[in-house]
Structure 1
Amino acid sequence: MLKKKWHMDARCRTRDRSSCCSTSWVPRIMVFMAPPNHFLRQLVFLLQVYADKYQESGFTGAFNFYRAMDLNWELLAAREGTKVTIAMKFIVGDKDIGFESNGTREYITRDVFKRYIPNLEVVILDGHHFIQQERAQEVSNETLSFASFQDIE
């Protein structure tokens, strides 16, 4: 019965969800999977929002970041070597793939990063890419400690 719900889109000619022409199956699956639990109902609502947005535009926004990468380099070339003078706290998960690749860990933990951002505090937590979701309380504590440290006028 669930498979029939996945393929109500007439444009989809296959049983393989990944090659389906639309994402119209996503909301229907979520409705069937969600038990009567308040947290899960909120999760279903959020997934519905994401599914609706994806259905409107697909991955266009995410792809545009990469499409504009050369343009960003051109536009920012004039600012090369500029220092960020405001205070900043950088929170990252120690198992984040971006933190672990291409020498990023060394760049951040050594003084290279601090040369461009003198008022930088780096916090490395036990976690992955979505550290704010994995370690919500710790990230909140770090954010609040940073905010209370700042002299806000």
Structure 2
Amino acid sequence: MMILVFALLIGVVAGLRAMLAPAAVSWAAHLGLINLSGTWLAFLGYHWTPWILSVAAIAELVTDQLPSTPSRKVPPQFGARIVMGALSGAAIAAPSGAWIGGAVAGIVGAVAGTLGGAAGRARLAAAFGKDRPAAIVEDVVALLAAAVIGLVA
């Protein structure tokens, strides 16, 4: 049961930053913290996968700061967060054989993270009077959450 909570939480991270969740899960698999060998998700633990996903996550962190970046709630961005939440949640739960439940939990978390993150960031931006400090706070929360979930899941 606890594994589904972690799958939900990694989905929330995907809702905040789409590429950060699979990058964290990939690093956990690569470092042997999550055993994905023998599953269809084994590719996440391959040598180059965490590096590639980390580059994508860093690019996302940078582009998120740009004023021209579209809302996370438009269909392409929202869809990407749902897919990454499902993938990451499935990977968290795969070692226990509950990858389908993990994928569902990851989807629920991604939806919650997307909508909740947008609302929270809007409130923080209003409090700061600017969006950039709110975006940085959101980045730090997502990074810390991804690191903790990757270590304890």
TM-score range with shorter-chain normalisation? under 0.3
Q: Select the structure that is richer in helix.
A: 2
Larger Rg: 1
Structure with the bigger percentage of strand? 1
- Give the TM-score, by structure 2 length: 0.26
Q: TM-score, length-normalised on structure 1?
A: 0.26
